[in-house]
A = this chain, B = another copy of it.
Amino acid sequence: MHSPSEQDYIQQLSIDCVIFGYQDSQLSVLVPKLNFRGDFCALPSGFIYQNEGIDQAARRILEDRTGIKDIYLEQFRVFGDAPRSNIRFLERLIELNEDKLGDKRFDRKEFDWITRRFVSIGYYALVDINKVVPQKTELDESISWYPVRALPPMIMDHHEMVHSALETLQLNLDQKLIAFNLLPETFTMREVQELYESIFDRAFARNNFQKKILDLNVLERLEKKFTGAANKAPFLYRFRNEVHAQASTDVGAA
């Protein structure tokens, strides 16, 4: 097991990341599964080096897991209840994996360090799912995307974290105009709408949605996209990044 050099990190403080991606009309979250019996899933997380800012630490963790350097991310909440600790999950893990752990994969010191009460800073990230090459750590059996409304069981309060992240995303989406971080470079209006619908979990009227988005004046219309389907070809759009736009109206209410 990877042994954190305890003194290099801030003690009892961690970062957990909710990494959102979008594919097949589904808002999804990237979740690793630990390589132990018992199906333990846990959000990508890590600690903060002494000489490292918290946003910087979050970026490092995100880059380790996605391979992407420039990632949109945001703090959404700190989780810090008094009894918040890994201990119950780790005890259960050890119980179910006595054999695997025989070769002292946890020493006592390490176990004490990792099972102390932890305060965790929640970050959410928005990525273009096509750019992501999900990275396992040596502890992971797998890492994959789960629809945000069909997540696997997760340890501790990680399920609540995703819920809280999604809530914050919904609140910020129109204000900060960040949805396009979830889409590839170019996209059709239908794709934008389906993205919004999957984030808000409700339908929008097509005509009015298109008007609202275009009225934001942040999209550049490109050539048509011929899909091979027997219907009118939609335009492709690109987000004009230079425009730090005057987002004022809520598309969420369209």
Q: Which residues of A contact B (CB under 8 A)?
A: 10-13, 48, 50-56, 75, 77-78, 80-82, 84, 117, 119, 121, 171, 175
A53 touches B81 (CB 8 A): yes
The answer to whether B54 and A119 touch across the interface, beta carbons within 8 angstroms, is yes
Closest to A50 in B: B117
Q: Which chain B residues lie closer than 8 Å to A54 at the CB level?
A: 78, 80-81, 119
User: By DSSP majority rule, is chain A's interface helix, strand, loop, or mixed?
Assistant: mixed
Q: Give A75's nearest chain B residue, CB to CB.
A: B78
Chain B residues with CB below 8 A from A55, complex form: 80-81
With A54-B78, A75-B77, A80-B54 known as contacts, the answer to whether A48 contacts B11 (CB < 8 A) is no
- Determine the chain B residues whose CB is within 8 A of the CB of A13 once the complex forms: 10, 12-13, 119
Q: How far is the CB of A190 from chain B (nearest CB, A)?
A: 28
> In the complex, A78→B55 CA distance in Å?
10
The listed residue (B12, B51, B53) touching A11 by CB distance below 8 A is B12
A26 to B84, CA, bound (A): 40
CA distance A78 to B119 in the complex (A): 12
Q: Kindly identify which residue among B51, B171, B175 contacts A82, using a CB–CB cutoff of 8 Å.
A: B51
Max chain B C-beta neighbours (<10 A), residue from A10, A52, A121: A10
| CA–CA, A77 and B117, complex, Å | 21
Among residues of B, the one whose C-beta sits closest to the C-beta of A116 is B50
Asked if B121 and A78 make an inter-chain contact with CB atoms under 8 angstroms apart, the answer reads yes
Instruction: Jot down 12 A-B pairs with beta carbons below 8 A, ordered by A.
Output: A10-B13, A10-B119, A11-B11, A11-B12, A48-B80, A48-B119, A51-B82, A53-B81, A53-B84, A56-B82, A75-B78, A78-B121
Bound-state CA distance A13–B119 (Å) is: 9
Given A11-B11, A12-B13, A48-B119; 13 other pairs, CB 8 A cutoff:
A10-B117, A10-B119, A13-B119, A48-B80, A51-B82, A52-B82, A53-B80, A53-B82, A54-B80, A54-B81, A54-B119, A75-B78, A80-B121
Chain B neighbourhood of A51, CB < 8 A:
82, 117
